[in-house]
Amino acid sequence: MTVRRQPVLGILGGGQLARMLALAGAPLGVKSLVVDSAADACAGQVAPLVVADWTDYEALDHFARQVDVVTFDFENVPAETAHWLAKRVAVFPAPRALAVAQDRLAEKTLFRECGLMTPEFKAVDTREELDQALAIVGAPAILKTRRLGYDGKGQFRIKTLADADAAWAALGAQATAHGLILEAFVPFDRELSVVAVRGRNGEFRTWPLTQNWHTDGVLSLSLAPAPDIAALQERATHLARTLAEQLEYVGVFALELFVKNGELLGNEMAPRVHNSGHWTIEGALTSQFENHVRAVLGLPLGDTSARGLSAMFNWIGELPDAAPVLEAVDAHWHDYGKQPREGRKVGHATVCAPNASQLVERLSGIAHALGRDQQAGPAVGKLLENR
């Protein structure tokens, strides 16, 4: 009898995204091996964990010899580490995509090259350049670190020109190491994301556009498919495909978009599975996690159609009582196995329904039981508008 060897997926980063990738790979017969510098990384609860720093090349070499392909749990893995690994094992997405997404200036520049307009932006490396950039971009604006920022971190909102000194005091120290970027503030109508996947053979698919709401820079709630997207889905898909082909991208990525007066503006790209795509686990025919595993291993991609309507809550800081979710119809609870901490994503829940009326009923009941009516309000309002 021939013993079939299971493919092994190497994942750099051991957070909840790695955890869900490992869980999605298991039914496909795919094993996972995770690398993280933290011994308590939550992905280690469901897959073997190698505890190592990104510059521990002896440990990384041993890791590379055990896996068939390497992918990422988050985008702040050093590009140098990705390049080093790519000389020893297949790495997807390619290190170039990782490097571009790590630098907001390179990212915004690529967006424009691909035909995706962005808010006005200027590079800022000195206090004098901040004044010069403000003279062009104007206020309100947002000063951001070019690298290492996510979930609202590394940002300072400049409401008036008088805030320039405070902005520099907050972020100026990072200008020398990583550079800063000033972006015009966009009074957008709504925030959308398109989650897309591209296979090793160039096959490309997107899930329906998702509408997102943020609290303090952290995703709070997603609704999919987003209401009223017929005129935007084709354009968003075209832009995502153009970007993926330009980067020769393999795997799942998310393109975060602002909608202003019916036009799409590029905000950020995440070169990995994304929080706004968590609804796909129960709400789509194939989840973003399964399709990412399929893509990087060269397997055929799955159908990205929505099963119906879905709304996803993020649990930030600590988990609420699970009972209202577990008791509801077609509602799904996800505990990431993390210790509670202020501002930390510790889990999520997804509520699904075949139509808006039933989703409103289920969502409202859960939100009321949890005391989160205000958090659910925007999604419920949008659903009611479009019933």
Q: What is the pLDDT of residue 179?
A: 87
pLDDT score recorded for residue 4: 62
Work out whether the CA dihedral 22, 79, 346, 277 comes out positive or negative.
negative
The whole-model pTM stands at 0.93
Please give the pLDDT value at position 76.
82
Write out residues in the chain with pLDDT < 70, as ranges: 1-4, 148-153, 384-387
3-state SS string for 120-145: CEEEECCHHHHHHHHHHHCCCEEEEE
Q: What is the pLDDT of residue 293?
A: 98
Omega of the bond leading into 320 within 30 degrees of 0 (cis): no
Domains observed in the chain: 8-91 (3.40.50.20), 120-184 (3.30.1490.20), 190-385 (3.30.470.20)
Q: What is the pLDDT of residue 54?
A: 93
Strand partners, 142: 157, 183
Per-residue pLDDT at 2 = 55
pLDDT of residue 150: 58
**DSSP labels, 252-269:** EEEEEEEEETTEEEEEEE
Give the three-state DSSP class for 309. strand
Q: What's the confidence (pLDDT) of residue 89?
A: 97
Distances (CA, A) of 68 to 7, 176, 197, 293, 356: 6, 38, 20, 12, 43
